[in-house]
Amino acid sequence: MGRNALLPKPLPSDEVAVGQFLIHPLHPERDGFYSDKAAEAVDELNDYFIQLRYKDVFSVDQEGRFAQSYGAKFDLGKIYRQPNLLTVAAEQMVQRVSRSPHEAFEAVCADPEAREWIAGLARAGQEFFFVAGITEFKNAVFKRAALQDGGASSRLRETPIEKGAKVPRVVRRDTKLGLGTDVRLSGVFGMDVRRVRARITRPEEPHAVSDLGWYWTYYDIPGQHLQLMIGLDDPLQPDELRLMLNLSEEDVKGNLDAISSLSMHALSAAASPLLKASSPALRGRSVSPHPAMLRL
């Protein structure tokens, strides 16, 4: 996964983009903000990495959440005692990674409409999140994996994922579109996502000790002797993201349609194998939920 942390479940690729603010990093349908004004500046800071016929090995925790990515050439010692392993084979893996998350963050915060949205959260004392990188898979197939030869070699035996398995619901064969066939899944499987804090303070007011280590930017509030201060933290780790997902709730409410119909417009464009910087269909104050997500 490189610099992007493995998510505990895949997300719709048309609901998250680099440079986006999210209320919850695992529920982009709830609320968020994407700045049209900052889109070009954010895209210019992105590096793009495309790999065809991508392979990986994931571990899954006891609650059925993706836990760790090991890569196709995994270290045998790291997975030897893992009881719940999955292989993934995808037609394409694409990473968007910001070369300078701080510059991208500042570019979005410079949008007055973004600051208005942030100020509302600051008054409510609500933290939120900033997306600085994403990893997408196209047409990924998951299978159950186990070491052959009692772990004497690194060869894996693959079998279909059993019905009711403790894995993210969308990769199981008992989902609506997966009966009797391999589920082919496209979506976001990794993100560089960071906590954001915002407060309205007086310019002379000192920082709190808990602000140390955060990257801060400041904006005067017109007509008042006040400022909006916005802070960006380091990337969330996979373990932190896993703890933010209640998978029992997700397993009940999950909907394969909301994932299977995910778009990776630039990837599927026949004219070019390269992603276009403007490909994410996310423009405006709030991301519009996928129609299937409205029922959740």
CA–chain centroid gap for 221, Å, is 32
CA–chain centroid gap for 170, Å, is 16
Q: What average pLDDT score do residues 212-225 get?
A: 92
Which pLDDT value is given to residue 253? 45
For residue 241, pLDDT beyond 50: yes
Q: What average pLDDT score do residues 20-30 get?
A: 95
Put simply, whether the predicted model's pTM sits higher than 0.85 gets the answer: no
For residue 188, pLDDT beyond 60: yes
- Of 12-16, 38-42, 120-124, 249-253, the one with minimum mean pLDDT is 249-253
Q: What average pLDDT score do residues 139-152 get?
A: 81
Beta bridge partners of 133: 97, 192
CA–chain centroid gap for 266, Å, is 18
Amino acid present at 186: S
Summary mean pLDDT of the chain: 81
Which pLDDT value is given to residue 283? 40
**H helix or E strand, kind and range, residue 56:** strand 46-60
